[in-house]
């Protein structure tokens, strides 16, 4: 949608603003409609989690994503979304003390091989 509309010529920050503004309104309306608009307890960990989601996940990562979409084809970029579970496991190891298994390492090698194959230059 970004490359096929006027958003292709907009800045990444403008595209991100439109996405976040529309989704905030729609999700708030849905929360109200389904009776989910209540807050029980606000803890420091909840606020830190919300700040992380807002700044790192919703702002930084999507800003980079929309910037990349203005320069590269989405089909080539989309394969990098397969890195998401690998980052999740890696941060689980680093932050929560979990351990890597041999099965995960083999799966990660397959994912990285697939990404390399998809992005490798084709034969002429």
Contact between 69 and 77 under an 8 Å Cβ cutoff? The reply is yes
Q: Is the dihedral of CA 72, 73, 74, 77 positive or negative?
A: negative
Which parts of the chain fold into alpha helices (H)? 12-33, 44-52, 62-69, 74-77, 84-96, 102-119
pTM of model > 0.85? no
Q: Is 66 exposed, middle or buried (0-12, 13-18, 19+ CB in 10 A)?
A: buried
Mean pLDDT of the residues in the chain? 84
* Domain boundaries along the sequence of the chain: 1-71, 74-124
Query: What's the gap between Cα 35 and its chain centre?
Result: 27
* 33 secondary structure, DSSP code: H
25-77 tens-digit pLDDT: 999 899 999 988 787 888 999 899 888 888 888 788 888 887 888 788 887 78
């Amino acid at each position: 949608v970004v490359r096929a509309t006027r958003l292709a010529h907009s800045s990444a920050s403008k595209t991100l603003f439109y996405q976040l503004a529309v989704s905030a309104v729609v999700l708030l309306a849905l929360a109200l409609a389904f009776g989910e608009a209540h807050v029980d307890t606000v803890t420091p960990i909840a606020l830190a989690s919300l700040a992380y989601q807002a700044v790192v996940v919703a702002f930084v990562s999507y800003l980079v994503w929309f910037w990349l979409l203005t320069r590269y084809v989405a089909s080539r970029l989309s394969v990098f979304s397969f890195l998401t579970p690998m980052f999740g496991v890696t941060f689980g190891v680093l932050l929560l003390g979990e351990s890597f298994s041999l099965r995960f390492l083999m799966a990660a090698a397959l994912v990285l091989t697939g990404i390399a194959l998809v992005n490798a230059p084709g034969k002429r």
